[in-house]
Amino acid sequence: MTSEQDFVDLATARGPALFRTAWLLTGDWHLAEDLVQEALGRIYARWSRVAAADEPAAYAQTVLLRTFLSHRRRRSSTERPTDRTEIPDDAASEADLPLRVALMDALGRLDRTDRAVVVLRYWEDLDAPATAALVGLSPAAVRTRCSRALGRLREVLGDDLADLLAR
């Protein structure tokens, strides 16, 4: 099997999970697509190192996160983090649309690092040390950021979140 085929196999297997994470990070279908493609491109460019890694899937997740953080940094002068939320036409059931819109609006009010911390902690179920390793912070800094971000999300979502989930 060629290294190119190995890469395509990994991208095909991990692409959907990376895209879901990317969508939560960006709140934008096209930005999420671009983010995953950029991350996969960086992975292919270093394929010999990735293939030698014990867990290529974990490596892919790390590259995605770091690409997201650098992406946002590069674009921050011209774009707000997320002031618009694109919901793919074919993706959400009608009942879940209000939940999605509310969630993406709330996540969009966080800065990129806080948003990454929240997504890693509550979507990827990573603990503080694992999250810290991915975003390049100390575990204590991750806890502080997470607490602050949750406070912000509570302000925005409040009891609405439970109500939206109950529908």
Phi, psi of 52 (to 5 degrees): -85, -10
Residue 93 is classified by DSSP as -
Task: Considering the complex, state which of residue 133 and residue 161 has its C-beta at the smaller distance from another protein.
Answer: 161
Whether 50 and 43 have beta carbons less than 8 Å apart is answered as yes
Letters for 51-70 (x = contact with another protein by CB under 8 A, - = none) are --------------------
List binders of another protein among 119-138 (CB under 8 A): 119, 122-123, 125
Tell me the longest C-alpha to C-alpha distance in the chain: 53
User: Which amino acid makes up residue 23?
Assistant: W
- For another protein, which stretch binds (CB under 8 A), given 67-75, 76-84, 90-98, 129-137? 90-98
Residues 6 or more apart whose CB falls under 8 angstroms from that of 109 comprise: 81, 152, 156
Binding footprint of another protein on the chain (CB under 8 A): 2-5, 7-8, 11-12, 15-16, 18-20, 23-24, 33, 36-45, 47, 88, 90-93, 96, 99-100, 103-104, 118-119, 122-123, 125, 150, 153-154, 161-162, 164-165
